Chain A
Amino acid sequence: MNWDLVWSSFGPLITGAVTGTIPLTLASFAFGLVLALVVALMRLSPNWLLSGLGRFYVSVIRGTPLLVQLFVIFFGLPSIGIRLDPWPSAIIAFSLNVGGYAAEIIRAAILSVPKGQWEAGHTIGMSRPQALVRIILPQAARVSVPPLSNTFISLVKDTSLASLILVTELFRNAQQIAAFSQEFMALYLQAALVYWVICLVLSTAQSAVEKRLDRYVAH
């Protein structure tokens, strides 16, 4: 094994993480959460058209592979005249994907808040949107942190799929170095290690957030 090469490869891998994997994850998760909240509210709406649309969206996203979604957007859309660069394609695909999964999490979290909380909000004069924002969502947030963290951590690893549409990120850098050095085992294990470290940091952050949101419940 070429230890010099292994050692010097960490540089490009970490660069790939910092300039590719991490921003891709953060942007997609942020857009995805906004989308998820909208879809969750659509699904909870008494309007059958809105809830039907929400249900359809969730069903399509969860019922098709992420890789296929990514390819449809990057390789498929140009044939109907929509040509997107690798980065926007990846962010759109991952955001849509997170939106589908997180919508169900947020919907369930909203439903988990007791009905009496809505009523208490109404009785002090709040409208539905006001009660949602001030009373329900803060409580739903606490419930949804563990499952949303799961989605977030999955997303970190899923972004490696973006290497297949030529986004320069952690895994693509690993592939390129492996290809010319033939050190496949070393490079892919190194890539795995970097992903793992990122996820360890995220798990720690998750515990901190959970602890903060738990300050108002009995233990």
Chain B
Amino acid sequence: MSLTNEPARQPRVTSVLKARGLAKAFGSNVVLRDIDIDIRRGQVVALIGPSGSGKTTVLRSLNGLEIPDAGTVTFGSGDSSAELAIDFGAKVGKREVAALRDRSAMVFQHYNLFPHMTVLKNIIEGPVQVQKRPRAEAIAEAERLLERVGLADKRDAYPFELSGGQQQRVGIVRALALKPQLLLFDEPTSALDPELVGDVLGVIKELAEEGWTMVIVTHELAFAQHVADEVIFMDGGVVVERGPAAEVLRAPRQERTKLFVKRLQHDV
């Protein structure tokens, strides 16, 4: 049995998302310059790089949590119907941002669960309140997902009663329950105690095996090499190197990538 049964219904091969020329500055501080990203259906992309490299800003731009100053994002299966094109250079309205969020869901570094809601309510809030799906159906789906991440018994617990690893698994389930085309992870294990990291990475790995399309900002290089199809190394707001995970992480071509990979491996 799979964790979810969503990706199967989606057409294969074509790209889910195409970002071109993303650029952003906060005042005089340029955080992104001319970023291009292509993500194909079922692909897992790992964004790595030192802090301040802009990788989180890229991720947040794909969910409309940051609005780049320039660049375009095209979403869709390529067969026209589900196409969404946003030009950040033009004025980006609420409708465009909503359309972007409709297609992607975010898992945060600090989980950002709603503390005043039980685990179940956290999960069904989006499906019921925003997507207007029938409550009973949303609950059944939430329970099934909770079961799969081993948290069925935490259904009625409040977030503060859970460990960090459990909270993050709820965060992942909350994102899955929205049935997005694209899952975005912002350093999903960085806030966790080391012994809790494994559980969360295990869940993400399962999702990758099931064919979910994902972009993961991470410092876990071993994990990235294991699950990612493509690794993008960013530094100073630009893409320094990109390619198959094994190549970029084991045999990087760029000096900066070599240094970064070496430093992280020494840290561990």
Binding site for B on A (CB under 8 A): 114, 116-117, 119-127, 130, 134-135, 138-139, 142, 215-218
Contacts and interface: CB of A to CB of B under 8 A. Distances in A.
B106 A135 contact: no
A217 B130 contact: no
Nearest to B107: A123
26 contacts: A114-B112, A116-B110, A117-B112, A119-B65, A119-B106, A119-B108, A119-B112, A120-B106, A121-B114, A122-B65, A123-B65, A123-B101, A124-B125, A124-B174, A125-B98, A125-B130, A125-B178, A126-B126, A126-B129, A130-B130, A135-B114, A215-B158, A216-B115, A216-B116, A216-B117, A216-B160
B102 interface: yes
B94 A127 contact: yes
Interface in B100-126: 101-102, 105-106, 108, 110, 112-117, 125-126
A139 B113 CA distance: 12
B64 interface: yes
Contacts of A116: 108, 110, 112
Contacts of A120: 106, 108, 112-114
A123 B176 CA distance: 12
Nearest to B97: A122
B57 interface: no
Nearest to B125: A124
A147 to B, nearest CB: 19
B190 to A, nearest CB: 14
A57 B187 CA distance: 44
B115 A123 contact: no
Interface string B199-217: 0000000000000000000
B63 interface: yes
B131 interface: yes
Contacts of B114: 117, 120-121, 135
Nearest to B63: A123
Contacts of A139: 115-116
Of the four ranges (under 10, 10 to 19, 20 to 34, 35 or more), the interface on chain B belongs to 20 to 34
Contacts of A216: 115-117, 158-160
Contacts of B115: 139, 216-217
B125 A134 contact: yes
Given A125-B101, A125-B102, 11 more contacts: A119-B112, A122-B101, A123-B101, A123-B106, A123-B175, A125-B130, A125-B178, A130-B129, A130-B130, A142-B116, A216-B117
B222 to A, nearest CB: 28
Nearest to A215: B158
A140 to B, nearest CB: 10
The 4 A-B pairs of least Cβ separation, nearest first, read A124-B126, A125-B130, A120-B112, A123-B106
Contact of A125 (B108, B126, B158): B126
Contacts of A121: 114
Interface in B229-251: none
A61 B130 CA distance: 39
Interface in B48-107: 63-65, 94, 98, 101-102, 105-106
A135 B113 CA distance: 10
B130 A124 contact: yes
B28 to A, nearest CB: 22
Nearest to A135: B114
B164 to A, nearest CB: 13
A113 to B, nearest CB: 10
Instruction: Indicate the member of B94, B114, B117, B175 with the most A CB atoms within 10 Å.
Output: B114
Interface in B133-172: 158-160
Contacts of B126: 124-126
Contacts of B175: 123
A215 B159 CA distance: 11
A123 B102 CA distance: 8
A123 B183 CA distance: 11
A122 B184 CA distance: 14
Given A122-B101, A124-B105, A218 B160 contact: yes
A134 B121 CA distance: 11
Contacts of A127: 94, 98
Nearest to A115: B112
Instruction: Indicate the member of A116, A122, A124 with the most B CB atoms within 10 Å.
Output: A124
Contacts of A215: 158
Contacts of B108: 116, 119-120, 123
